[in-house]
Structure 1
Amino acid sequence: MFASRFLSAALFLSFLRIVLAGLPKKIYGVNLGSWLLLEPWMLPAGWLAMGGEMCSDCSTCIASESAFAEAYPEKKVSAEFNKHWATWFNQDDVNELASLGINTVRIPLGYWIIEQLVDKGEFFPKGGLKHLRRGLRQLHDAGIVAILDHHALPGVQTAQQMFTGRCTRDVEFYTDYNYHRALVWTAVMTGMAHLDPMFKGAVSIQAVNEPIMDATLTPGYGEFQKNFVLTVRAVEALLGIGVHARFPHFPSANFTAVLTEASNTNQFNPEVQDALAAAGPILLQIAAEFNIQPVFNVHAQDGGQREPLTTNFMDINWQFNDPPNPADATLGPQGYDNHLYYSPTSVSCVLMIPQGVADPNPDAYLISICNLRRVENDAAVGNSPLWFGEWALSTQFDASDDFLRDWADAQKLAYSKGQGWIFWSFKIEISPEAGDTARQWSYTEGVKRGYLTRKPAELHNPHVCDDFVEQ
């Protein structure tokens, strides 16, 4: 129903011929964790200095962005977070990543970076969009592309996680109201990616980071996946990107006027129409705030030659109990993400451990990773290309330095069978409070210690799996 109301069959086929736009053929990346979406376990000393707290249950103290913003006056929240945003990731970090051959970053974002989407009674820091624009420009200038990762969704998509911005057991993302807010966020980000020169390096948008794994608890998620893609493609079509020759003509030169016109037609399904209608005024406000009104002239764009964004989902195997297949939502370039950790963190923010996790010893870990068939299995259900958007050197045993070199090599070998990998995270605080967390969770620290190679495509031991591959 969705595709028939949006695009003709011929247009659908034309989309399928598009290769993944903007992303490198092989991704060597890092997550910019705790930059614009702060997770206190990654910088405990810094968080405590800001005025935050650490506790065993992150819902019972000031251990998330929302709790912090609710606990303190707006002036203090603004001052502390602006200082954090400016210092946690800046030009020095960009230079270091470029020197290490990183070609892609994944930027975790909360929905509240678009402040107009925050409801009364919700509390979050303000001003992050300015820093996102600054960081994207610095990354683009260094030749590094970015995935805009919707990491924390309206209503919270997963319980009791710092990465959702609010630690709570009340998961309310999977509702029509919050699906709508997420689609508006998507329309705004797509518009910014194509219209704001500071966003030139943004080449992909991820719909939802780590939804609940049990698909019986995520009603409507399959429909949302389709509407997410339709929203991205609708905004692009209105800009004449990718499909402009086959799409009805909207005569207005001003993009926000085009959005208004499009939202009043039957060319889109009602959910997409509503998202377009809500996105127009928000884009106008952002344009005024950052004095970028001229770029919202459709005819000022680069001859319609900008490539479409790559839409991006967690793969079908992230969920169980008859999950929707995100491949069914495909309209244009699309990629798939999987996260693989063999160990949780030591705090209440427990990361998902893969089913059938290996026994906690070096040989079991290497047997598991060297025989991983996730790329092949995903391809069999249309979830290709696949990349691994989060992984680390974490273990459930006391790993030696020699093992961590092998563990890094073996994971890189496995993940490079797909389109590549994105390490979590680019850095971790070095402090007594953080202990030795950086040893296994920080990419830059891993390079300094010699576990990870300075050139990401290289391995210390390309034969690391030879003795562990099962015939």
Structure 2
Amino acid sequence: MLVLIELYALSILAGLAAAWLPGVHRDIYSLDGKNLFNRSIPFRGSSKRWLQSSGKIRGVNLGSLFVFEPWIAESTWSEMGCGDQNSEFDCVSSLGQGAADSAFQKHWGSWITKDDISQMQSYGLNTIRIPVGYWLYEDIVDSKSEHFPKGGLSYLEQVCSWASDAGFYIIIDLHGAPGAQVADNSDTGQYASSAGFYEDYQYGRALQFLEWMTKQVHQNNAFRNVGMLQIVNEPEQDPDTVSSMLTTYYPNAVNTIRLTELGLGILWNNYLHIQMMDELWGSGDPNQYIIDRYFLAYDDHRYMKYDSSIKVSKDTYLSASCNDDRDSNSPTIVGEFSLSPPDDVQWDSKWSPDSNRDFYKKWFAAQVQSYEKQEGWIFWTWKAEAGDYRWSYSGMCIETQKGGPAVACVE
């Protein structure tokens, strides 16, 4: 209890300190006096990098890298031998551990390359968000009942090291939680028939993951530009269903990360930002039971295609995006959005990506203009195999050669 009181007091004393977010440039020095910013040198002491950036967060998600969503890359999924499976869990169960490990390691080594990172940098982006599953920490996986690919950590290290060399701010997002935080969704890695996350046993394993990941960030040079750790992605949207998450998991997650940092001797100005879904997501007020709110951040996902209150028309979408008020908790990042209209109209002539490039260019500009009223935005996702740039940032940039949404690809 005394430690928690000290944590709370520390948050009050440090309340006026600048947050570790893009837009705030600080030179951080190691114990030997060398400037560590954007340098690939061995980690020394507790100093971490601050980004050199003059503007808001402008980034992309690395979707389907460490949490595979088959719809994003159906060809690759089939080539891995997973074509008739719903999720990573199902695929590993079907292929067997050894064959699955080989298939996934090949995927991890090729889906995002150093050239991808360089291309992101050339487009003026400054942030990447990396969805991961709890199974990345293999010690907490129950091998008798849970089946996930092994060996992902070294590939995460590689991607984060490339991104750090390029000066990116990095957010690591617990996208797949123990037991699955939602049902029937491949983005949990499990496609479970029910959401099993909301119980003490699963919360405990998630806390173990957060402690382990916090140590990785502060002790492993590959993670030198990781500035934010998201404690769970897109939980259930019924506050009654997730009440234990608000009362138990959220405060314990914050305390776990902070106590881990205290134990490592990390100073307050090098703490991780801890991110939760904001209140607009619909899971309740994330701050309701949290005492220590220092260096907290919030994630807002804005997929207009799922908003039934907005009339499906180009003019309405542009107007709604231009006037979109995402002011909820602060600081908020719109961590996921796309250019996709509802499924039932997306391939109609009025919405076809091939014949409506000018509209999608305007809609992208309208969205990012509104999201930069907050801390910025992260597009979902960097690449997709479907040939639909409305879900692919790299695809949007290719479209600039055809008069597409060029605003996405300039600094």
What's the TM-score bracket when you normalise by the shorter of the two chains?
A: 0.7 to 0.9
Of 449-458 and 38-47, deviating more is 449-458
Contact 1:33 1:426 survives alignment (8 Å): yes
Aligned equivalents of 2:312, 2:60: Cα separation in 1: 26
TM-superposed deviation, 1:8: 5.7
In 1, the alpha carbon distance for the partners of 2:66 and 2:112 equals 9
User: CA deviation digits over 1:159-202, x for unaligned, max 9?
Assistant: 11110001122211010011111111101111110001111011
CA–CA distance in structure 2, aligned partners of residues 327 and 28 of structure 1: 31
Residue pair 1:19, 1:333 contacting (<8 A) in 2 also = no
- Amino acid in the other structure paired with 1:114: Y
Which residue does 1:172 correspond to in 2?
A: 196
Counterpart position of 1:200: 224
Corresponding residue of 1:131: 155
| Equivalent position of 2:67 in the other structure | 37
**Local SS of the residue matching 1:163:** helix
- The match for 1:447 is 397
Instruction: Give the equivalent residue in structure 1 for 2:139.
Output: 116
Q: Which residue of 1 aligns with 2:17?
A: 18
Is 1:52–2:88 an aligned residue pair?
no
Residues 326 and 354 (structure 1 numbering): CA distance in 2 closer, same or farther, change over 3 Å? Answer: farther
Q: Residues 337-389 of structure 1, C-alpha deviation per residue, up to 9 Å, x if partnerless? A: 1001122xxxxxxxxx2462x211101111211221122xx1xxxx1111100
Contact 2:361 2:407 in 1 (8 A): no
Q: TM-score, normalised to structure 2's length?
A: 0.84
Report the CA distance shift for 1:360/1:454 in structure 2 as closer, same or farther (over 3 A): closer
In structure 2, the partner of 1:296 is none
Residue number in structure 1 paired with 2:278:
315
State the Cα deviation string for residues 194-230 of structure 1 (Å, max 9, x = none).
Answer: 0011110111100110000011111311121111111
- 1:3 CA displacement: 8.6
1:325 maps to which residue? 287
Are the aligned partners of 2:277 and 2:286 in contact in 1 as well (CA < 8 Å)?
A: no
Of 104, 118, 125, the match for 1:95 = 118
Pairing 1:316-355 to 2, within 5 Å after superposition: 316-319=279-282, 323-325=285-287, 328-343=290-305, 353-354=306-307
**Partner letter of residue 218 of structure 2?**
H
Contact 2:397 2:408 in 1 (8 A): no
Change (3 A) 1:126 1:420: same
For 1:183 and 1:228, locate their aligned partners in 2 and report how far apart those are by CA, in whole Å.
6
Match of 1:236 in 2: 261
Aligned match for 1:393, one of 336, 339, 355: 339
**Superposed displacement of residue 334, structure 1:** 1.6
Q: 1:191 to 1:152 in 2, by over 3 A?
A: same
Instruction: Determine which of 239, 247, 250 is the counterpart of 1:225.
Output: 250
Shift of 1:73: 2.1
Q: In 2, are the aligned partners of 1:107 and 1:146 still within 8 Å (CA)?
A: yes
Give the gaps of 5 or more residues in structure 1: 55-61, 244-305, 344-352, 459-471
Contact 2:397 2:409 in 1 (8 A): no
Q: Give the gaps of 5 or more residues in structure 2.
A: 24-54
Which whole-Å deviations, capped at 9, do the CAs of 1:290-339 have from their partners, x for residues lacking one? Answer: xxxxxxxxxxxxxxxx711111111012125x554368454321211100
1:429-468 aligned within 5 A: 429=385, 434=386, 436=387, 438-450=388-400, 451-453=404-406
CA distance in 2, matches of 1:453, 1:108: 26
Distance 1:443 1:8, change over 3 A: closer
Q: Secondary structure at the match of 1:412?
A: helix
Letter in 2 for 1:338: D
| Structure 2 counterpart of 1:83, from 94, 101, 106 | 106
Query: 1:427/1:8 Cα in 2 relative to 1: closer, same or farther (>3 Å)?
Result: closer
Secondary structure, counterpart of 2:406 in structure 1: coil
Give the match for residue 358 of structure 2: 402
Structure with the bigger RCO (C-alpha within 8 Å, sep 6+) is 1
Aligned residues: 365
Closer, same or farther in 2 for the Cα pair 1:6/1:67, shift >3 Å? Answer: farther
Residue identity over aligned pairs, in percent, reads: 35
Alignment partner, residue 420 of structure 1: 376
| 2:324 corresponds to which of 369, 372, 378 | 372
Amino acid at match of 2:59: G
Secondary structure of the equivalent of 1:173?
Answer: coil
Task: Measure how far apart 1:52 and its partner are.
Answer: 1.3
**Cα offset for 1:18?**
3.1
Q: CA deviation at 1:242?
A: 2.2
Q: Which protein is bigger by CA-based radius of gyration?
A: 1
- Between the aligned partners of 1:312 and 1:152, the Cα distance in structure 2 is 15
Change (3 A) 1:193 1:179: same
Retained in 2: the 8 A contact 1:225–1:326?
no
Amino acid at match of 2:293: L
Contact 1:313/1:326 (8 A) holds in 2: no
Distance 1:444 1:326 in 2: 39
Q: Which amino acid aligns with 1:447?
A: C
Q: Secondary structure at the match of 1:215?
A: coil
- Give 1:16 deviation, angstroms: 2.4
1:27 equivalenced with 2:41 (yes/no)? no
